[in-house]
Every structure is written in structure tokens, then in C-alpha cells.
Amino acid sequence: MSKNSCCVYLGGKLAAYGFGNDHPFGPQRHHVFEQAFHQQQLEQRIDILSPVKTDRRTLELFHAEEYIDKVIEQSKFGVGYLDNGDTPAFTGMYEAACYVAGSVVDAIEQLMDKDYKKAFIPIAGLHHARRHVAAGFCVVNDCGIAIETLLQKYDLQRVAYVDIDAHHGDGVFYSFEDDPRLIFADMHEDGRFLYPGTGAITETGKGRATGTKLNIPMPPQSNDELFFKMWPHVENFLEKHRPQFILFQCGADSIKGDPITHMEYSEKAHAHAAKSLSDMAERHCNGKLLAMGGGGYNHDNIAKTWTAVVEAMAG
């Protein structure tokens, strides 16, 4: 029996997913969170679990076999790019990606089969990768793997994915655009001003999935006031669909001061969303809420935002 109902995954195997010290997505992202977590003595209220490695069978729940072959091959020497120039290959990236995806799937097992109700994985939420290709620093899409695990292995019919990273979660959205079992809600910087350029308000799902997706493009320089004004739309939308499990991508790149976006929330936005989703999970999902760190390239913002999220989740 665990003593706490909330856990976080920490360890060098997760920090190893990144593109080196000189890249915005480097190993320090993990370390600054870990340091802030201990400074705030959160280990007294939240259990720490070690990263877990998965195998290609799990990756294949979401990704194409040929794409995984390509990642394994380019992982040997770390040369070139996995896409058109955003996502460089790095040596050991296949193993690193297996730890990100493995920790996410292990967290699902902890929540579905064991005593934990809530989990947070800092280096996760790689929401741009598609089934056949990498994109935007994302070698694999652990969010997509998590969704497929919940649909295929646990036979859930209503899985919610909520994303407040500055960037649109295009890899998740387009992979499940016509699947009504994914309840998708995404607040992001308007695609006219930021990568990947997608996520218009008119994109609500296709075919029988029409109406199961909510995209809210936010203007550049959006602040907490605007976030708090729009968040109830996400709450009402989710409430209407009564999710059985909630995934939360809480990217810290929508916080003021991020070097690659133009958003200006404070960590209060993320803490509020985490508390709101925790309450919703209690109402509909036996408390099950899995949060993934997502983006965020300002180290101070990562430290304060992710600790605010786990604190809100731990209650």
C-alpha cells in the first residue's frame, strides 16, 4: 500500500530524453523540477516512482512499425533529423523514448489497477509526434500511446485529453480526429502566430466524432484573466462528456517569459486547471488523473508551474 494517493516519476532515465545541454529541450528541464519538488518538501505528500522502460509492442499501439524501425536505426548514431528539421536524432533516443512512454503506461497501470489516483510525469506529453513521423521535439507521442492503452487494453469508451501547453496538440488531435472515444480539449496560442499553426475553433472532430473535440485558440499575450474567462468552456465541455479517465498536458511554455512562445499566463492558471480536473476526476473517474509536463523552456517557469500542478493534484 502506498501512503499517498499521488505519485510523480523522477530519475535520470527520464532526464535522458532531450537534445543536449545547448537545446531548449535539454536534461535541465527534469532537474529544475526535481530540485523545486524537494525544496518544497513535496515528497512528504507525493510518492516518487522510478521511470519504467517499455518495449516496441507498446509503442506500436500508436506508432507505425516502419517509423519505429527508423527511430531505432537513427538512435544508434544520432545523426540527422527525424522530421523536416525540428527534431534532431540523438544517440540513445529510442531507449529514452521507451522510458517516457513506459513511465506513462506504468502510471496508467498504477491508476487503473493499484492504489494511486493521480500521477505526474515531468518529461512526457510529447504531443506533436504523429503515428508515422516525429515533430516538434517529439520522437514518440506518449499521449497517443496512453490514449490507445486506455482504449485498447482497458476498453474505456470516453477518455479525456486536456492540453494547455502553448502549442496545439496536433499529434493527438489529428490521430483521433474521427474517434468519438477521445474527448479532446485544447487551449493554445492561436496557430496564426505559433507552431504548429493548427487548432482552429472550427476543428471540432470529423464524422461520428464531430463535437467531441474542442479547440480554443488564444491570442498572443493572453494572461491569467483571459485564461480564467475561457477555462469554464473546457469544464462545461468535459462535464457534458463524462470522461472515464483524464489525461492532462500542462506545458509550462504558456507561462509569461517562455523564450519560444508569446503567452503570458502565470502558474496560477495551471494550478487552477489541475485543481479543476482533479475535482472532475473525483466526480467521474474515481479520481484518476494523469498529468504530463509537456513543453516549457524557461527553467524558473518549469519549476514553479509543475510544482504548482502536483501540489493542486495532491490536494
Quick check: bond before 196 cis, omega within 30? yes
Q: C-beta of 297: minimal distance to Zn ion in Å? A: 8
Q: C-beta of 1: minimal distance to Zn ion in Å? A: 37
User: Toward Zn ion, which CB reaches closer, 205 or 296?
Assistant: 296
Burial status of residue 199 (CB atoms within 10 A of its CB: 0-12, 13-18, 19 or more): buried
Q: Which three cell numbers stand for residue 104?
A: 506513462
Q: Which three cell numbers stand for residue 183?
A: 474527448
Give residues in contact with Zn ion (CB under 5 A).
165-167, 251, 253, 295
Residue of 248, 252, 250, 194 lying closest to 29 (CA atoms): 252
Q: C-beta of 239: minimal distance to Zn ion in Å? A: 26
- Using the CB atoms, write b or e for 258-287: b if 16+ within 10 Å: beebbbbbbbebbbbbbbbbbebbeebbeb
Q: C-beta of 268: minimal distance to Zn ion in Å? A: 19
Q: C-beta of 210: minimal distance to Zn ion in Å? A: 26
- Distance, in Å, from the CA atom of 160 to the CA atom of 73, rounded to the nearest integer, reads 34
Cβ atoms within 10 Å, residue 32: 20
User: Toward Zn ion, which CB reaches closer, 171 or 243?
Assistant: 171
Residue number of the CB closest to Zn ion reads 295
User: Toward Zn ion, which CB reaches closer, 40 or 198?
Assistant: 198
Compute the CA torsion angle 206, 210, 211, 216 (nearest 10 deg): 20
Q: C-beta of 24: minimal distance to Zn ion in Å? A: 10
User: Toward Zn ion, which CB reaches closer, 167 or 288?
Assistant: 167
Q: C-beta of 165: minimal distance to Zn ion in Å? A: 4
User: Toward Zn ion, which CB reaches closer, 23 or 38?
Assistant: 23
User: Toward Zn ion, which CB reaches closer, 212 or 261?
Assistant: 261
**How is the beta sheet containing 182-189 ordered, strand by strand?**
47-49, 6-9, 118-121, 289-292, 245-249, 159-163, 182-189, 213-218
Q: Which three cell numbers stand for residue 207?
A: 464524422
Q: Where are the beta strands (DSSP E) in 93-244?
A: 118-121, 159-163, 182-189, 213-218
User: Toward Zn ion, which CB reaches closer, 165 or 264?
Assistant: 165
User: Toward Zn ion, which CB reaches closer, 205 or 251?
Assistant: 251
What is the enclosing helix (H) or strand (E) of 104? Answer: helix 93-113
Q: Which three cell numbers stand for residue 165?
A: 501547453
Q: C-beta of 47: minimal distance to Zn ion in Å? A: 27
